């Protein structure tokens, strides 16, 4: 049994980026599952025993692809990595280390920007600091789950739009409901990825609008994900957060 399964959902991702990340993370004890939503990698994918490659017939969306990755996983822990992110040193060990705590069901890591631009400075949820704290999974591209609890709560919401948005918070809500412990989902500063939120302001606004729409869709009925997120300690003053990030990344 592999010690962890790293699931990468690909959509028109160059093969050299996928191989770069797998080569950087390969330790001989981890399996890699590539779910290709293009599927543009079918002819370029090498015959590699480290990898399980699935070419979808079309873009099934990130939630369907992540759930399929969990179903195919042979490990007890599933790690999700953004297809265009660069994992930091000790990425897999950091996730595994946090899951040694049996009460922890899900972990989200820290994200640092690859480039310095306004959208990255406004991605306040990417870097929550240097302390381990309870937190919902609002950075799915650097997250990990104990596989059985993830499957037990139904995985990611496949009714969301293809690009997703708030799906990690939705899963976190269901995990906390199951465990009865708000600290069963956490933020850890140790697993680090380098990734850009968006490259320009238009893309940033489009993403924010999509996430707001998804929040409204998932918060109907008895589930208020906005209220659930507010249960966790975060800096709420946007001016204060902006000043902090401008100082950090100037």
Whole-angstrom distance, CA of residue 104 vs CA of residue 98: 7
From 9-18, 133-142, 185-194, 220-229, the region with the lowest mean pLDDT: 220-229
Percent of the chain clearing pLDDT 70 (strictly above): 76
Residue 12 near residue 40 (C-beta atoms within 8 A)? yes
Q: What would the pLDDT profile of 16-61 be if each residue is shown by its tens digit?
A: 888 899 999 999 999 999 999 987 776 667 677 888 999 998 899 9
DSSP state of 131: S
Mean pLDDT for the chain? 83
How far apart, in whole angstroms, are the C-alpha atoms of residue 197 and residue 207?
9
CATH number of 4-249: 3.90.550.10
* Integer Cα distance of 235 and 42 in angstroms: 44
Contact assessment for residue 176 and residue 184, using Cβ atoms and an 8 Å cutoff: yes
Q: Is the pLDDT of residue 161 over 50?
A: yes
Judged by average pLDDT, the poorest of 31-40, 74-83, 227-236 is 227-236
Helix (H) or strand (E) holding 233: none
What was the pLDDT predicted at 237? Answer: 46
Alpha helices in the chain (DSSP H): 15-25, 62-72, 91-99, 118-121, 147-152, 167-179, 201-218, 225-230, 238-249
Show the tokens assigned to 200: 């320009």
What is the rounded CA–CA span in Å between residue 17 and residue 137? 25
Beta strand 4-10 pairing with 51-55:
unpaired
């Amino acid at each position: 049994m592999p010690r962890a399964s790293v699931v990468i959902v690909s959509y028109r991702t160059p093969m050299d980026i996928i191989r770069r990340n797998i080569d950087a993370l390969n330790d001989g004890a981890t399996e890699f599952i590539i779910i290709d939503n293009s599927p543009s990698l079918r002819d370029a994918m090498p015959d590699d025993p480290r990898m399980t490659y699935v070419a979808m017939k079309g873009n099934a969306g990130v939630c369907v692809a992540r759930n399929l990755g969990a179903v195919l996983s042979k490990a007890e822990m599933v790690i999700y990595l953004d297809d265009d992110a660069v994992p930091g040193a000790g990425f897999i060990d950091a996730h595994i280390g946090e899951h040694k705590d049996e009460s922890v069901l899900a972990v989200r890591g820290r994200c640092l920007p690859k480039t310095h631009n306004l959208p990255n400075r406004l991605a306040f949820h990417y870097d929550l600091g240097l302390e381990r704290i309870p937190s919902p999974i609002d950075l799915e591209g650097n997250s990990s789950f104990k596989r059985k609890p993830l499957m037990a709560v139904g995985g990611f919401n496949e009714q969301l739009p293809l690009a997703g948005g708030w799906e990690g918070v939705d899963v976190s809500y269901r995990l906390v409901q199951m465990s009865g412990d708000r600290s069963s989902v956490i933020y850890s500063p140790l697993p680090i990825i380098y990734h850009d939120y968006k490259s320009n302001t238009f893309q940033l606004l489009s993403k924010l609008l999509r996430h707001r729409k998804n929040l409204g869709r998932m918060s109907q009925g008895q589930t208020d994900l906005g209220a659930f997120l507010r249960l966790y300690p975060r800096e709420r003053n946007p001016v204060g957060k902006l000043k902090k990030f401008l100082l950090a990344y100037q």
